Structure 1
């Protein structure tokens, strides 16, 4: 816009300057013509006066005649500062104030002489090589029969006239320069006044084009520019309102799509991917940037999916299909491909909705396994009780020693059944949060010593050495009964799975861990139980906290375990907002490590 203003200013200046220059040249030309005209009239008057006042004589010889007229010519030149020449009718020069007449050519063909030969005064301007200036020649006819018949020519240099014209032109140039400067300033001001609103409107329009819808034109007048500015402001208001509404709707749609549990992909009529939400990115292992705008055949999606999309693109019908994909990981997907049309039933593409059924199927499988495990675990003691009871009923009760043995087995199996049902109920209560945690300060050394004392007899029977290492005066905020249950279960497992004359170590100490909040360190308690037992294979480590999972089923059942102890421990640790991990090596032993916060900030609500 500044270039436009400069061009407008230059145009104004050139127009004014050209007008002044033309006027100046015209005035200089008029001045020169007027001056020459006046000079010419003066010279005509002088010729007429000379015609009436000069004593025209007759001479016997040409020498006398030339001498007479030459003397007069010189006298007249001194009086009028004008060159005077007397020329006869045949063109012979008989007197001149500046040159020797004998050396002068015949003047009959001179233009001014030819004009005077027609009976009127002739005049011409001609450059004089001798004087190196322009000369004005004025010639008048003279008729004195018997005395002089010919022409009187007066010549005057135009140096003064041209000097005056030059001086006048200098004044014109100086005035023109000043006028140029004034015109430039005034024109710039005028152009600025005209273009500033246009520049403002242009800037606002460019900002709006760059999606800055807050740009507005400054308040202007009521002229056409003002009306245009008001129209631009109204347009910006409307655009801003519409864009804000679109952004709000887009934000809502994006929020809904990003938080959907199903993957959403939209493919347009040309097969290009136009929409993909975060769940779809997770399912495909791709990002939106890699897919948007590209044809579905050019992106790395499962071939089963490409077949479904191709089918809908070809036949434009609804397709529902369950399929397993193997990249980026194995998943079972329930796919719904829905054809999409515009309001006028014009084909728009398709919408792909994908639900990951992998977790659902895993939970169903776990439920089935759980039911099977519970049934199996319940069936074993019940079958034993039933079998031995039937044996007693069939007559074995008569043998006192056999009857006592069978009754003891029935008692043991019923106790095992009772423990199993108790553990199931306990695990169910913990998982459902039916029993709230009762937090209170717990003296950890006392709790650990009591737990070791409870299991001391079991350890002594196997000659297992139990070592307790705990920092004195160590307190923790916890549910004392639940914390004792955690340690008791882990310590009992360590004793049960450690061969005779083995070692079990129970250690508790305070530690500091990064809380990941402003890089602060939180003080926590680490409880570790290490044994020299049979160990756990690495392949079984990820599953040992599952319900009823046993590494060695025969050994576990022989030890009287229900297969629920570690699962209960895991949920109790999580209820204390702690973590549980295990490290083990077959034939060397295992270490279970619990990390609990010293202070419970707030109970976790899992519902």
Structure 2
């Protein structure tokens, strides 16, 4: 902007300088013309005065040249000019500067020609005699006595005029220089007043171009520049408001995309990946920064996905597929794709990726659960029905055999009741219909009561039951649910421990790094143990390590699943360690104090 200011100042000063020089030349020309005109009038009056006072003698007399030459010299000294007497035929008969006899005929002189026509003639020309510019004024004169009939001419050097013009030029030049300096200062101030606000407006416009929408023009003017500044500020306000709205919408859209549980994959009409949200990144184990803007075929690890994408882009029709992907294990994905159009122009395909692995697993578990429940119910029902039909048919005459049949019917009925009770309990827990009623539980007293309950079952197999619990240890929990947890664990431990074995319960207080306190329980037995391959699944419903042994022990296959759910309700954790043929240890960790949701 500074070069523009300089250029503007130079233009203004140039225009002012040209106008001032033109004015100077005009004034000098007018001054010279007016001065020359004044001299001409003055010389004309002098000729008239001369005509009125001079004694004219016969032009043709012998001594006429001497007379008129003497008169010319005398008058020239008085008027400080050159005086010439010329006959009507152009012959010079007297001159104040030269010998008339040596002078040319003057009939062709411009002033004589004009004087012959108009009575008086004027001319300016270079004098070869005096070698300078001269002003000539000639007047046609006819004396009253008739002795003179010709022209009286006065001539004056223009050096005086030129000197006056030069003095005027000097004075005018000085004035013009001062005026030019003043004009330069004024033009610079004018250009500064024009360019300075424009510079500010330009700076603000550049800041706005660089996305600095807080920039504003601080000008308080009412002229066009002020209106321009106001328009710039209004534009910046509008842009800032629109940008804020756009950013808010973008942030909202980005937040929606980032927090969606389903994956979003947008592929444009050229096959380039245009959008990939976080859920899709996690599902496909890729990085959006590495893929956005690149071909969907870069998803080389997911051949099934690229084939579906390619088919959808080619057909431009909705896609609904379900495929298994092997990415850190098998994952089942459902893909729903729709074509994207704008103003009837195809823009690509938008795909929604939903992981349905857990849904399908739950569906499979539900099917297995129904099958297992049906099987578990069918077995005791079939036994009850078979033995009851035998008894009703009168096929058993022996009272001892009949009693054994009745005992079997009773045992199967008990097993059926336990199974139904466990199914109902598990259903209530899983449906979140079970509410904990927590209160302080003295663990030493709690386990004394629990071991007394289980002692008769343990005595039948000569199994030693023991507990190591600090006398002062309390825990906040639902005592009934806590009893149900340990009854299941102790019952399993006794069931799968050989005769003469040991089952031991221990409880210790532990403080975590974050300062919270927990109680760690261990239930250890010297039983048959659990194979390592079965450890991850023992908390599943109806899962049995040894189905024949489990059925003979009277288990329902739901005990450990109930334990796991009750531990979750108490915000606890359970795990198991086992060595085949040596025994198993169940490790339970419960918070000392329960956290209640507000």
Q: After TM superposition, is the score higher than 0.5?
A: yes
Q: Distance in 2 between matches of 1:336 and 1:403?
A: 64
Does the Cα contact within 8 Å between 2:312 and 2:319 map onto a contact in 1? yes
Corresponding position of 2:488: 489
**1:208, distance to aligned residue in structure 2 (A):** 2.5
2:525 and 2:585 in contact (8 A); partners too = yes
Q: Distance in 2 between matches of 1:422 and 1:405?
A: 25
Q: Which residue of 1 aligns with 2:111?
A: none
Report matched runs for 1:421-436 at 5 Å.
421-436=420-435
Q: Secondary structure at the match of 1:243?
A: helix
Shift of 1:310: 2.3
Moved more, 536-545 or 190-199: 190-199
Question: Do structure 1's residue 302 and structure 2's residue 296 form an aligned pair?
Answer: no
- Other-structure match for 1:322: 322
Q: Label 1:441 to 1:575 Cα distance change in 2 as closer, same or farther (>3 A).
A: same
Deviation at 1:422? 0.9
- Kindly report which structure 2 residues correspond to 1:403-414, keeping only aligned pairs within 5 A, or say none: 403-414=402-413
CA distance in 1, matches of 2:504, 2:189: 95
Is the Cα–Cα contact under 8 Å of residues 299 and 306 in structure 2 kept in the other structure?
no
Q: 1:592, 1:417 → 2: CA distance?
A: 27
Partner of 2:230: 230
User: Counterparts of 2:196 and 2:395 in 1: how far apart (Å)?
Assistant: 118
CA drift of 1:456 comes to: 1.9
Structure-2 change in CA distance of 1:484 and 1:312 (3 Å): closer
Is structure 2 residue 553 aligned with structure 1 residue 546? Answer: no
Given the two structures, how large is their TM-score scaled by the length of structure 1? 0.67
Segments of 5+ residues of structure 2 without an aligned counterpart are 21-127, 133-173
Q: Is the 8 A contact 1:443 1:476 kept in 2?
A: yes
Deviation sequence 1:290-343 (CA, Å, 0-9, x none): 221112123446222222332333332333333222235422333233222212
Contact in 1 for aligned 2:208/2:236 (Cα 8 Å): yes
User: In structure 2, what is the equivalent of residue 476 of structure 1?
Assistant: 475
1:262 is matched with 262
Query: What's the counterpart of residue 216 of structure 2?
Result: 216
Work out the CA distance in 2 between the residues paired with 1:523 and 1:582.
Answer: 21
Match of 2:553 in 1: 559
Shift of 1:513: 1.8
SS in 2 for 1:350: strand
* 1:263-312 residue CA offsets vs partner (Å, 9 max, x unmatched): 22111121111122222222211122122111212344622222233233
**For the aligned residues, what is the CA RMSD?**
3.4
Cα distance, 1:533 vs structure 2: 1.9
Where does residue 573 of structure 1 map in the other structure?
Answer: 567
For 1:392-411, list aligned pairs within 5 A: 392-411=391-410
* SS state at 1:347 partner: strand
Structure-2-length-normalised TM-score: 0.68
Offset, 1:183: 8.1
Q: Partners of 1:293 and 1:222 in 2: how far apart?
A: 51
Residue number in structure 1 paired with 2:25: none
- State the SS of the aligned residue for 1:521: coil
Inter-CA distance 193–505: structure 2 relative to 1 (3 Å threshold) = farther
Deviations 1:403-433 (A, max 9, x none): 1111111111111111111111111122223
Determine the structure 1 residue equivalent to 2:518: 524
- Within 2, Cα distance between the matches of 1:505 and 1:602? 32
Matching of residue 331 in structure 1 with residue 331 in structure 2: yes
| Residues in 2 aligned to 1:586 and 1:193: alpha-carbon distance in whole angstroms | 97
In 2, Cα distance between the equivalents of 1:579 and 1:205?
63
- Are the aligned partners of 1:9 and 1:187 in contact in 2 as well (CA < 8 Å)? no
Answer yes or no: is the 8 Å Cα contact 1:283–1:328 preserved in 2.
Answer: no
Quote the Cα distance in structure 2 between the aligned partners of 1:600 and 1:249: 42
Which residue pairs with 1:271 in the alignment?
271
Structure 1 window deviating more from structure 2 (522-531 vs 317-326): it is 317-326
The aligned residue for residue 204 of structure 2 is 204
Shift of 1:568: 0.7
Aligned partners of 2:384 and 2:413 also within 8 Å: yes
Partner of 1:598: 592
SS of 1:539's equivalent in the other structure is helix
For 1:507 and 1:187, locate their aligned partners in 2 and report how far apart those are by CA, in whole Å. 101
CA contact (8 A) 1:506 1:528 kept: yes
Superposition pairs for residues 359-378 of structure 1, below 5 Å?
359-378=358-377
Structure 1 gap ranges (5+): 24-117, 123-171, 515-519
What is the aligned partner in structure 1 of residue 117 from structure 2? none
| Matching residue within 2, 6, 13 for 1:5 | 2
For this pair of structures, how many residues does the alignment match?
452
